[in-house]
């Protein structure tokens, strides 16, 4: 391991940063949710099909129900969000993100061992996203601003759903 010393602490870095491909895997509708699905992987161009399938199969259980909620008891939900499926170096991850309360992003994070990608469970430690997943979150934040929040008279949800990201990050 290489070590980079900062003013206050030492950060252990396993090796130089390597970009990872981020792919838009397509739209997905389930249980009233309209989702954008992204894939990230350390190997190949897309995460394993079994991991993607497991993440999408689990989505109706993970995402809150009903998908659309406007009861005043909790922040509104719109049935809009995205899923990030990541075959990382140490684990497989599925991030389930949805928009609520006009400008809030909510998330549930699931993970599984690399050798059992279909065994997704709630991630056991506090985490939000890694530097690669953060690129998707950043894009989605900007898309939400562009198509929804800057258009209070007529938010364009369909344009938001069409606004996707791909690249090596």
Ordered per-residue pLDDT tens for the chain, 169 residues: 555 555 566 888 888 999 999 999 999 999 999 999 999 999 888 999 999 999 999 999 999 999 999 988 889 999 999 999 999 999 999 999 999 999 999 999 999 999 999 999 999 999 999 999 999 999 999 999 999 999 999 999 999 999 999 999 9
Strand runs labelled E in 31-158: 33-41, 68-69, 77-87, 91-100, 104-113, 121-122
Cα–Cα distance measured from residue 114 to residue 50, given in angstroms and rounded to the nearest whole number = 11
What pLDDT is attached to residue 1? Answer: 54
pTM over 0.95: no
First-last CA distance in the chain: 22
Which residue, chain included where needed, has tokens 């939900």?
77
């Amino acid at each position: 391991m290489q070590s980079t010393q900062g003013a206050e602490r030492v950060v252990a870095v396993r090796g130089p940063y390597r970009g990872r491909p981020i792919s838009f895997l397509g739209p997905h509708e389930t249980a009233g949710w309209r989702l954008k699905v992204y894939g990230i992987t350390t190997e190949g161009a897309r995460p394993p099909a079994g991991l993607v399938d497991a993440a999408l199969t689990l989505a109706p259980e993970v995402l809150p129900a009903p998908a659309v909620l406007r009861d005043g008891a909790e922040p509104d939900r719109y049935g809009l969000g995205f899923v990030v499926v990541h075959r990382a170096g140490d684990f497989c991850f599925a991030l389930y993100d949805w928009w609520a309360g006009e400008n809030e992003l909510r998330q549930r994070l699931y993970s599984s061992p690399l050798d059992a990608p279909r065994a997704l469970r709630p991630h056991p430690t506090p985490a939000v996203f890694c530097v690669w997943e953060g690129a998707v979150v950043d894009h989605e934040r900007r898309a939400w601003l562009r198509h929804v929040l800057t258009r209070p008279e007529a938010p364009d949800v369909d344009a938001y759903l069409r606004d996707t990201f791909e690249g090596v990050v």
